[in-house]
Amino acid sequence: MFKKSLVAVMAASAIALTACGGGGQAASSTGGADKKIVMGFAQVGAESGWRSANTKSVQESAKEAGIDLKFSDAQQKQENQIKAIRSYIQQKVDVIAFSPVVESGWDTVLKEAKDAKIPVILTDRAVDSADKSLYKTFLGSDFVLEGKKAGEWLVGESKAATDTVNIVEIQGTTGSAPANDRKEGFEAAIKADPKLKIIASQSGDFTRSGGKQVMEAFLKNNPDIDVVFAHNDDEGLGAIEAIEAAGKVPGKDIKIITIDAVKDGMTALSAGKINYIVECSPLLGTQLMDLAKKVLAGETVPERVVTEETTFTQEQATKALPTRQY
């Protein structure tokens, strides 16, 4: 009788240990009879085609990896993302992953996660926290390089030009890592040619409607626009609508450079309405789940995992489109 209850107590303690989340120690990365890893993912929103593809990638990869995903959409608002992270801490998830809407203002909530012993993985966008111990790793693109590639293409294209080349820039969400970094990279690259001048720059919030509105205002105030540099495809697609409505031909009267390479953007590039796209891959799900498993298994992971990306001309877009995943 005594033996039987001892076995029962031992079994109960083992279950309690496996079931305790929070520290990330108890969750198994191997699946099987052990408890599933629980990941809390705080997404930016649904502002662009890129974002929808990223959400799909994260959700599908979690399923494939056997990870229980708690998902929230912050509708591009930092306070919503902070609330979601706090709720994941309260729920004692095993790991938190998020793509920060903006770069600044994360130290307090990240410290709360650290104090609760819940590891955090940054995905897609970075934070500017000086204390790197607040997160385990950052998986995503090199946004400065993306801006640089866009600028370098324009420098090459403008070699033959004799006059000033007037550029308007439609920035991404103000204060976000991709907006800050793409601007920085683009400006650094176009410095190589003093003919290239940014005559206006404004945020379109990474949305199609934002890109359209900003472009309408640019067209009203600037009769001689030669080039649009849009921080993502959606803004570029919105700009196309505004340019056409103004009776001009996108891709010809006004050249357009964008970043992302989602299907809609690639279709416009293939049709000659966009002139060049720098790729930013949203397919981060598989790598994110692998990193989460490694972190929870106590393995060392690199501080930074950079996504591999390419660029597309009209011809390359036409070739790539039939097999484009997103």
Q: Which residues bind ligand AHR (CB under 6 A)?
A: 47-48, 50-51, 124-125, 178, 206, 232, 259-260, 280
318, containing H or E segment: helix 314-320
Nearest residue (CB) to ligand AHR, 179 versus 296: 179
Q: How far is the CB of 73 from ligand AHR (least distance, A)?
A: 13
Q: How far is the CB of 49 from ligand AHR (least distance, A)?
A: 7
Q: At 270, list the tokens.
A: 């293939």
6, containing H or E segment: helix 2-19
Nearest residue (CB) to ligand AHR, 18 versus 201: 201
d(CA 219, CA 205): 18
- Is residue 49 within 8 A of residue 234, CB to CB? The reply is yes
Q: At 4, list the tokens.
A: 């039987």
Nearest residue (CB) to ligand AHR, 68 versus 187: 187
Q: How far is the CB of 210 from ligand AHR (least distance, A)?
A: 11
Q: Which position has the token pair 């990193």?
A: 291
Nearest residue (CB) to ligand AHR, 125 versus 148: 125
Nearest residue (CB) to ligand AHR, 52 versus 164: 52
Q: How far is the CB of 231 from ligand AHR (least distance, A)?
A: 7
111 contacts: CB under 8 Å, gap ≥ 6: 134
List residues bridging with 70 in a β-sheet. Answer: 40
Please report which residue ranges of 142-232 form alpha helices under DSSP H.
143-157, 177-190, 208-221
97, containing H or E segment: strand 95-98
Residue in 315, 247, 246 with CA at minimum distance from that of residue 277: 315
Q: How far is the CB of 150 from ligand AHR (least distance, A)?
A: 12
Nearest residue (CB) to ligand AHR, 37 versus 240: 240
Q: How far is the CB of 230 from ligand AHR (least distance, A)?
A: 10
Q: Which position has the token pair 């990869």?
A: 61
